[in-house]
Structure 1
């Protein structure tokens, strides 16, 4: 049996307590993973020849993202779209529409490859190609990163820090933001994900991985309950949606009705990932200044 040292996987201290802006009680972070066809290529490069499989991802640019942008505009919500570099190159007009709507564009790899211990050279190329595509096509340098497949490891967090990322939104171990602690010092801010808001779990079924679809009332009930308890605790509700799932006709109603429900509360701060990270850094700087006096 391996001698595995008994210590927490995350060495960061508990998330700091600080107020949300304008005396708000909680925050809602609406985030989309814009994979398009890259998620299917990342799973199996042979899928490039399986055109019906690829069409699951192609739905994003043709229908999913345009319809989601309409819903967000109607609710006056600015979201964060984590986009793969491949998607930026394949669907530049879709990505330009996201920016034109005033939304944040963040990094989601290049070909939706999952970070795994031991593949740091592969992931360095994956991150750098994504950065280059976002800069060349959209003219932006992203502040945030979300890991394809929602995985990470220490060496990869150090890579993100070296590339200047302000924040990550991949981990699942808190309801408030915190800063990663790396062997060499401070790492990126983490805006933790609430796994209950990952729509892939409820609404994606396909020929090679079929499973039951969850109906609207089931998902809406889960989302409302998770949000309301997170609100009571003063946390941030971080959503992980995919336009090829939540951009489908019935599923877009779930988001529409959920945002209507959240808007019924007057104490919710609707924020992008960059806005939350900036707010965290202001609090952090104020705390550091007070302890140095």
Structure 2
């Protein structure tokens, strides 16, 4: 039975107008979803035998992530990488390289399964196996989470809270961070996503789901315009990039030129997800809301 009652899907109040650190006007949250081969396995277990299909994801560790790290290093940008637990187990050296450059690694499920289609046992397994992989392989505990396939459910939101996840970056319903309100009380902070920055929509086509690919100038113009207006509104521009897309030769130029565009302003706070969460919590505490 589905609850179709007329009420907002999100019961959180409007995002508070906390000032950005250092008198900055807006924020940029550069974030990458490291799915590797797990996105293809999670979509269809039969892809385990389809080596060429899996090679789309394998590109991340072999080429995509090293090139992205090089680009971020050149622009002196620190980012968040939402990594599946499967990818950590399969590509530990690549994940260690991400951390070595000062970037954050956050939770993205284990096998990139959709939370809204999973039963309770699968939800718990996806959550806990990924946390265990992060502790065992990388020696870290994740602060943040991004929903695989860009979808979640009420049970998953409560699970994030119970596992101590401080922030989520999945919802599309604001331009400033806010705190979720769950049936059990205050939930994680949300750093909302701008879907215009999901590179998968523009740059990946596959024989089983063919679609047109967008050129550099088309994507760059969208990114620039969305960022410029979000800056005027004083919001956060949250990106959803995938190394198996943005790590490709032409597409990494889009990221490079976009960061050049952002860097022309001196009023942009470029931050990892954990930094945004730290700032939000400090702002709450300053207003006596902690």
Q: TM-score, normalised by structure 1?
A: 0.97
2:251 maps to what in 1?
251
Aligned to 1:48: 48
Aligned-partner SS, 2:287? helix
Shift of 1:121: 1.8
Q: Which residue does the alignment assign to 2:92?
A: 92
> Is 1:178 matched with 2:178?
yes
Matched with 1:278 is: 278
Displacement, 1:184?
1.4
Q: Does residue 37 of the first structure (1) align with residue 37 of the second (2)?
A: yes
State the match for 2:197 in structure 1. Answer: 197
Instruction: Give the C-alpha shift of residue 4 in structure 1.
Output: 2.4
SS at match of 1:288: coil
Residue 118 of structure 1 deviates from its aligned partner by 5.8
> Which residue in 1 is equivalent to 2:17?
17
Residue 132 of structure 1 pairs with residue 137 of structure 2: no
Cα distance in 1, alignment partners of residues 256 and 189 from structure 2: 29
Deviations 1:183-202 (A, max 9, x none): 11000000000000000000
State the match for 1:110 in structure 2. 110
152-161 or 114-123, which deviates more? 114-123
Partner residue in 1 for 2:161: 161
Aligned residues: 289
Indicate the SS of the match to 1:12. coil
Segments of structure 1 that go 5 or more residues without pairing to the other structure are none
Q: 5+ unaligned residues in a row in structure 2: which ranges?
A: none
Match of 1:73? Answer: 73
**Counterpart in 2 of 1:233?**
233
Q: Which residue of 1 aligns with 2:218?
A: 218
Please give the alpha-carbon distance, in whole angstroms, between the structure 2 residues aligned to 1:208 and 1:60.
20
1:37 to partner: Cα distance = 0.2
